[in-house]
């Protein structure tokens, strides 16, 4: 190494030029830590001699190796020497810049690139997350994934968010999402919310068969037949009505039809094939206390009888209840027909009485009103001699009496 001032050679380890006294340039990348570690490892400081007279105090012992020799090409600078004087000699004001380890440069470059990629990746993920959160198809798909994993609450939230992102979404897509939302509500035991979604969808789209099918299936699973029938009421679309085929039971038919009758009647009830009829005769609800209809019903006795009947299908669903009122008032039998019905006779004569089926004729010859205890007509009656009055009544099977038929016979032999 040569002196920068006079050009003479400077021995390794010296910090001053022996010829001109100029201080040797301090190497900036000298590592104090490296030197301290060297001393610490050896643990021997005895080989470092104190500064000799004429040497700088801050470099005592340095410039020599541990065995009294010289250090190989390195000199330890005093702390804060740059820009100050050492033993009256100025240090070089513009030391040579330190040269960094190429391996470190490469490491810093790699770390910088990696950090940049991480930032870019983070920003990209954040952008995609925001974009997906504002995407209908993504939210709908996410709702399906959550539902498949049994995470029904998250599925509901995804579908609700999808329904808010309606730009560019078709009516069919929205309807499909609402159906899926209702399914998720039912799975989460939020039945009222599920019913509300389907009910609103039906109001918006009265011809949406899928919404009707889903709601019918839900009510059927709950055994709520009344809700099914209520849902069916007001439906006029033939395709929708076809969904209620198993629930659309017509009212039973009465034969004879309800009304007023003068005699007992035998009532026949008719309904669709595959149903069972339940009826009552006191006006009570047949779906609760009705008897099973098997044979025609005899309605007898005067008064009003209220018949109620409902059909029950194989699903256990009752159709609408039919009501019929039968007012029975027995008619008074007609007056008996007597032949001959009186007159003057001089020869023996017999009287015949026409008796309707189911009735009996009763008569007297003394003019009194016959009763059920009077003589019963069962054959032609001989007219007694003299001036007599034949009184006849008919009493029908119900015990109802006709008006009295009176005939005056005057029979005298010559």
- The position carrying tokens 């007597």 is 338
Quick one: pLDDT at residue 223?
Answer: 84
| Partner residues linked to 318 by β-bridges | 312
CB half-sphere exposure, 46, CA atoms < 13 A:
1
Beta strands in 137-275 (DSSP E): 253-255, 259-261, 265-270
Whole-number Å distance between alpha carbons of 320 and 307:
14
How far apart CA 159 and CA 137 sit, in angstroms, is 10
Contact (Cβ atoms closer than 8 angstroms) between residue 182 and residue 175 = no
What is the chain's percent helix, strand, coil content, to nearest 5? 30, 20, 45
CA atoms of 47 and 116, how far apart (whole Å) = 51
* The two three-digit tokens of residue 308, written as one number: 């109620």
Joined together, the tokens standing for residue 380 give 């032609």
Per-residue pLDDT of the chain (414 residues; tens, 9 = 90+): 788 778 888 777 777 777 777 776 655 444 444 454 444 444 444 444 444 444 444 444 433 443 444 444 444 444 444 444 444 444 444 445 455 578 888 888 888 888 888 887 877 676 665 555 679 999 999 999 999 999 999 999 999 999 999 888 999 999 999 999 999 999 999 999 999 999 999 999 999 999 999 999 999 899 887 898 889 888 999 999 999 888 778 899 999 999 999 999 999 999 988 899 999 999 999 999 999 999 999 999 999 999 999 999 887 888 889 999 999 999 999 999 999 999 999 999 999 999 999 899 999 999 999 999 999 999 999 999 999 999 999 999 999 999 999 999 999 998
Q: How far apart are CA 372 and CA 363, in angstroms?
A: 9
Q: Tell me how crowded residue 269 is: count the other CB atoms within 10 A of its CB.
A: 20
- Per-residue model confidence (pLDDT) at position 89: 47
Question: What is the rounded distance in angstroms from the CA atom of residue 274 to the CA atom of residue 313?
Answer: 6
Q: Which residues in 277-305 are b (16+ Cβ under 10 Å) and which e?
A: bbbbbeeeebeeebeebeeebebeeeeeb
> What is the spatial distance between Cα 338 and Cα 393, in angstroms, rounded to a whole number?
10
User: Hey, is 331 helix, strand or coil?
Assistant: coil
Is the CB of residue 82 less than 8 Å from the CB of residue 95? yes
Distance, in Å, from the CA atom of 413 to the CA atom of 157, rounded to the nearest integer, reads 117
Distance between CA 103 and CA 108 in Å, rounded?
A: 9
CA distance linking residue 255 with residue 297, whole number of Å: 10
Q: Coil, helix or strand for 270? A: strand
Per residue, the 3-state secondary structure of 213-247, as one string, reads HHHHHHHHHHCCHHHHHHHHCCCCCHHHHHHHCCC
Helix (H, G, I), strand (E, B) or coil at 45: coil
In whole angstroms, what is the distance from residue 25 CA to residue 164 CA? 75
Distance of CA 27 to the CA centre of its chain: 81
Q: How many helices (H) and strands (E) does the chain have?
A: 10, 18
Distance CA 40, CA 59 (A): 18
pLDDT at residue 337 in the model:
95
The token pair at 324 is 């019929």
């Amino acid at each position: 190494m040569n002196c920068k001032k006079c050009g003479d050679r400077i021995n390794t380890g010296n910090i001053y030029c022996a010829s001109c006294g100029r201080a040797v340039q301090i190497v900036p990348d000298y590592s104090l830590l490296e030197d301290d570690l060297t001393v610490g490892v050896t643990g021997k400081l005895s080989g470092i001699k104190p500064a000799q007279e004429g040497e700088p105090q801050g470099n005592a012992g340095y410039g020599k190796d541990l065995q009294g020799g010289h250090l190989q090409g390195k000199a330890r600078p005093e702390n804060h020497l740059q820009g100050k004087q050492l033993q009256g000699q100025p240090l070089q004001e513009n030391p040579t810049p330190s040269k960094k380890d190429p391996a470190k440069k490469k490491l810093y470059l790699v770390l910088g690139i990696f950090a940049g990629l991480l930032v870019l990746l983070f920003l990209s993920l954040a952008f995609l997350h925001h974009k997906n959160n504002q995407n209908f198809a993504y939210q709908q798909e996410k709702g399906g994934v959550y539902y498949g994993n049994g995470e029904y609450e998250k599925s509901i939230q995804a579908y609700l968010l999808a329904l808010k992102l309606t730009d560019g979404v078709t009516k069919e897509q929205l309807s499909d999402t609402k159906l899926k939302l209702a399914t998720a509500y039912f799975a989460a035991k939020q039945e009222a919310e599920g019913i509300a979604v389907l009910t609103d969808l039906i109001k918006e789209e009265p011809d949406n068969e899928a919404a009707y099918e889903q709601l019918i299936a839900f009510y059927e699973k709950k055994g709520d037949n009344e809700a099914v029938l209520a849902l069916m009421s007001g439906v006029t679309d033939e395709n929708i009505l076809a969904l209620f085929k198993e629930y659309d039971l017509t009212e039973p038919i009465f034969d004879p039809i309800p009304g007023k009758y003068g005699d007992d009647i035998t009532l026949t009830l008719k309904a669709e094939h595959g149903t069972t009829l339940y009826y009552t005769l006191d006006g009570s609800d047949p779906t609760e206390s009705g008897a099973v209809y098997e044979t025609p019903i005899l309605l007898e006795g005067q008064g009003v009888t209220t018949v109620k009947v409902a059909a029950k299908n194989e699903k256990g669903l009752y159709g609408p209840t039919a009501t019929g009122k039968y007012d029975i008032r027995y008619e008074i039998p007609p007056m008996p027909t007597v032949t001959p019905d009186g007159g003057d006779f001089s020869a023996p004569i017999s009287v015949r009485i026409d008796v309707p089926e189911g009735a009996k004729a009763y008569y007297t010859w003394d003019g009194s009103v016959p009763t059920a205890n009077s003589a019963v007509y069962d054959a032609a009656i001989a007219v007694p001699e003299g001036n007599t009055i034949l009184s006849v009544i008919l009493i029908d099977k119900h015990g109802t009496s006709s008006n009295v038929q009176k005939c005056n016979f005057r029979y005298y032999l010559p």
